[in-house]
Amino acid sequence: MKPKTVLIAGLDEGGRGVALIDGEKAIVPFSIPGETWRVAPQAALLEPSPDRVAPPCPYFGRCGGCQLQHISEGRQLAEKQRWLAATLARVVFPEKIRPPIPSPKHWHYRRRIQLHVGPKGEVGFYAHRSREVVPIDECRIADPALNAKILEVKRRAQTALQGPKKPASLTFELTLQEDGSVEIRQGGEERSFLQVNPEANRRLIEVLQAALTALRPRRVLELFAGSGNLSFPLAVPGVDWLAVESNPRAVEEGRRRSEQEGGVRWRLGQAAKTAERLYQSGERFDLVLLDPPRGGAEDCLPVFRKRRPPAILYVSCHPPALKQDLQVLVKAGYAVDWVQAIDFFPQTMNLEAVVQLRDSGSDSKP
């Protein structure tokens, strides 16, 4: 096979380098934009990037958790921001995209991890796009308190596998609690959503607080509210705050907290249907805050088009879904004020982004 040399042009959604070969996209894993690689007959790095670093984790490359440990932290964030801007290019003017906010911690930032157990009792994370378990003794992006419990998880896994009923699949979820203790849960019981990077979460709350201070809404509808991670710090006295969430356990936690702290009204239900019902019952809102799962909030868009909340704050964990939703909102006459990326997940390609939109009053839809 003829040797082929390529220049890496960018990273794809999975953090893998992309090059063009004869007009076709080619994926070069663990490469960095700007690097020169030989891709045939075998991949080989010819000219490394000055931003290439030695990945500190011995499992990097096999474990599916991290994709970017071979790239310096500054460059990781620059590439993620570039990906965000490229994804939103047809919907948002580049000057509306603010410089990204880095994660305060680049390592040991996660307060929740899920460990899987393989057929021989090996405990670790899934390999990339696979159910094969890569056994680990330590995870460098997990809080040290979680790492300290991995041995105990291995013991529990052995016990479970030696029991009379072998479970078809076995997972342990480790969560660092507010009081510093670690909760270990076995199995896939449905839990309330948790933002796993507490320091980056504080930055997100600061960004939203600044937006609310400027917009001064009196009645806020929050959709996809979880158990109130954003609601409670943002619902200041004088603001009527209504939170909607479909997970009963999360709403129960939120209601319990509201009984103690006040400040937030709760509705259990699907975001789109519940929002429409609230409007039908005469509720009105100056602002909608939404923080949907990865797939975005397509179902809610007809409600916004019809009911036209004057301002929308959209928190997204998946730029491609965000782009789809913004396209609809912009077409319906909303204008994007700004986009703010916050890095919740260093060493991985995931990126959180906040967008402020306002109803410009001109509905350009046909």
Ligand X SMILES: C[S@@+](CC[C@H](N)C(=O)[O-])C[C@H]1O[C@@H](n2cnc3c(N)ncnc32)[C@H](O)[C@@H]1O
Which residues are near ligand X by CB under 6 A?
A: 193, 195, 224-226, 229-230, 244-247, 250, 270-271, 291-293, 317
- Smallest gap from residue 112 Cβ to ligand X (A): 12
Q: For ligand X, give the closer residue by CB, 35 or 245.
A: 245
Residue type at position 247: N
Q: For ligand X, give the closer residue by CB, 146 or 196.
A: 196
Q: For ligand X, give the closer residue by CB, 145 or 194.
A: 194
- Smallest gap from residue 267 Cβ to ligand X (A): 9
Q: For ligand X, give the closer residue by CB, 175 or 195.
A: 195
Is the CB of residue 359 less than 8 Å from the CB of residue 342?
Answer: no
Give the CA distances from residue 198 to residues 180, 344, 353, in Å, rounded to whole numbers and listed in that order: 13, 9, 16
- Smallest gap from residue 294 Cβ to ligand X (A): 8
- Report the SS3 class of residue 317: coil
Q: For ligand X, give the closer residue by CB, 274 or 347.
A: 274
> Based on C-alpha coordinates, what's the Rg of the chain?
23
- Smallest gap from residue 114 Cβ to ligand X (A): 16
Beta strands across the sheet bearing 219-223: 265-268, 240-245, 219-223, 287-290, 311-316, 352-359, 334-342
Q: For ligand X, give the closer residue by CB, 97 or 354.
A: 354
- Smallest gap from residue 276 Cβ to ligand X (A): 12
Burial code (b: 16+ CB inside 10 Å, e: under 16) for 119-158 equals eebebbbbbbeeeebbbbeebbbbbebbbebbeebbebbe
- Smallest gap from residue 26 Cβ to ligand X (A): 33
Is the CB of residue 150 less than 8 Å from the CB of residue 115?
Answer: yes
Token duo for residue 207? 């960004």
- Smallest gap from residue 190 Cβ to ligand X (A): 9
Q: For ligand X, give the closer residue by CB, 63 or 287.
A: 287
Residue 37 φ/ψ, nearest 5 degrees:
-125, 150
Question: DSSP E strands: which ranges in the chain?
Answer: 4-7, 10-11, 17-21, 24-28, 36-40, 44-47, 112-117, 123-126, 133-135, 170-176, 182-186, 219-223, 240-245, 265-268, 287-290, 311-316, 334-342, 352-359
Q: For ligand X, give the closer residue by CB, 66 or 230.
A: 230
- Smallest gap from residue 55 Cβ to ligand X (A): 28
Using CB atoms, what's the residue nearest to ligand X? 226
Q: What is the 3-state secondary structure (H, E, C) of 55-73?
A: CCCCCECCECCCCCCCECH
Q: For ligand X, give the closer residue by CB, 8 or 208.
A: 208
Closest CA to 138 of 168, 110, 180, 99: 110
- Smallest gap from residue 104 Cβ to ligand X (A): 17
